């Protein structure tokens, strides 16, 4: 287990290095206007060139990349140009990260609890009421664009349940709809896969043998079916994290949450290249960390998996 964990950690670090390098190179292909702010039109070509040289953007690309990694190791993510001119990006993120962190963790927890519970109900009532309701929900979430049901929740559910339409830090009730919105996609995924794995387990020979021995349905479901079905569910944690990240980018803007999702949209619109670069790096790191955690959880939940002997193959 330790050997595999170290191997996966090393692979994750290498993957992160590749992603960061690609992001850095892609950002250098962006229009240079993003390094000047709002005063770009007022500068003549000589002034623009002087500023670009002072920023080091006229150095060879390998020199820029080396300098970038040196600053990154020191915790220096650069300085905002447009969003908050001359303010370090790390300082901007320090005020934004807590909002995204709390909502992200809350959404993942909610989707795990709701999705697994719904999946269990669907599996236990196969072809009946809860199975049909759950299947309809999964189909709806996967068939309808997320922006559509996000707007539906904000425009109609707020009136029906008398909930605030926008986020207010001092009003916990206003946190409900953003949390629910962020968790909808992951909830559908967990419900679908939990139902599938539980139905597969229920049809296996060892379940028939357990019933022949006189074990109660509750014992069979808890000790055997649910336990074995939950093992492969661990690999969907990265998907849950990715869905929350993707949702937060839109939802934080929709509900006026002062987190990193809304900040990324704002930074892109304003062409604040250093800020966009830092945010993309953070989201990439979270995605890779989610993949790493998912693989480790699979090995923890199922000791029979000897991943270190098979090069990480499941």
**What does the pLDDT look like over 44-85, one tens digit per residue?**
788 888 878 887 878 888 898 898 889 888 888 888 888 888
Q: Which residues pair with 88 in a beta bridge?
A: 79
Give the tens place of pLDDT for each residue, 208-227.
Answer: 787 788 777 777 777 777 77
φ/ψ (deg, to 5) at 258: -80, 55
pLDDT of residue 82: 80
**Both structure tokens of 211:** 């019933």
The phi-psi region of residue 252 (left if phi > 0; otherwise alpha if psi is between -120 and 50; otherwise beta) is alpha
CA distance 83 to 72: 20
For residues 43 and 51, the answer to whether their CB atoms sit within 8 Å is yes
E strand spans, 13-130: none
Domains observed in the chain: 96-271 (1.10.3720.10)
Query: Does the predicted model carry a pTM greater than 0.95?
Result: no
The pLDDT tens digits of the residues spanning 268-277 come to: 888 788 888 8
Are the C-beta atoms of residues 62 and 53 closer than 8 Å to each other? Answer: no
In the predicted model, residues of the chain with pLDDT beneath 50 are 307-308, 310-314
Contact 202, 129 (CB under 8 A): no
| Helices (H) then strands (E): counts for the chain | 14, 0
Q: How far apart are CA 295 and CA 314, in angstroms?
A: 9
Angstrom distances, CA of residue 96 to CA of 17, 92, 252: 24, 7, 11
């Amino acid at each position: 287990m330790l050997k595999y964990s170290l191997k996966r950690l090393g692979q994750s670090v290498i993957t992160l290095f590749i992603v960061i390098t690609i992001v850095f190179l892609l950002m250098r292909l962006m229009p240079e206007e993003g390094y000047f702010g709002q005063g770009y039109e007022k500068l003549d070509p000589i002034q623009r060139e002087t500023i670009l040289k002072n920023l080091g953007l006229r150095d060879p690309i390998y020199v820029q990349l080396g300098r970038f990694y040196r600053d990154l190791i020191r915790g220096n993510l650069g300085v905002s140009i447009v969003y908050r001119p001359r303010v370090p990006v790390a300082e901007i993120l320090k005020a934004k990260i807590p909002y995204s962190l709390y909502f992200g963790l809350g959404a993942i927890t909610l989707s795990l609890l709701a999705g697994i519970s719904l999946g269990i109900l669907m599996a236990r009532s196969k072809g009946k009421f809860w199975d049909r309701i759950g299947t309809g929900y999964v189909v709806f979430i996967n068939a309808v664009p997320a922006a559509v049901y996000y707007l539906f929740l904000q425009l109609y559910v707020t009136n029906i349940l008398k909930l605030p339409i926008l986020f207010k830090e001092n009003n916990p009730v206003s946190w409900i709809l953003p949390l629910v919105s962020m968790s909808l996609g992951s909830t559908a995924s967990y419900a679908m896969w939990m139902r599938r794995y539980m139905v597969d387990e229920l049809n296996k020979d060892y379940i028939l043998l357990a019933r022949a021995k006189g074990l109660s349905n509750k014992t069979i479901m808890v000790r055997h079916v649910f336990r074995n079905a939950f093992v492969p569910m661990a690999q969907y944690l990265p998907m849950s994290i990715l869905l929350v990240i993707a949702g937060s980018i839109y939802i934080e803007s929709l509900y006026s949450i002062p987190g990193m999702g809304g900040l990324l949209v704002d930074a892109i619109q304003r062409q604040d290249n250093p800020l966009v670069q830092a945010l993309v790096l953070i989201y990439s790191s979270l995605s890779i960390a989610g993949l790493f955690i998912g693989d480790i959880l699979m090995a923890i939940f199922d000791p029979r998996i000897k991943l270190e002997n098979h090069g990480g193959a499941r």
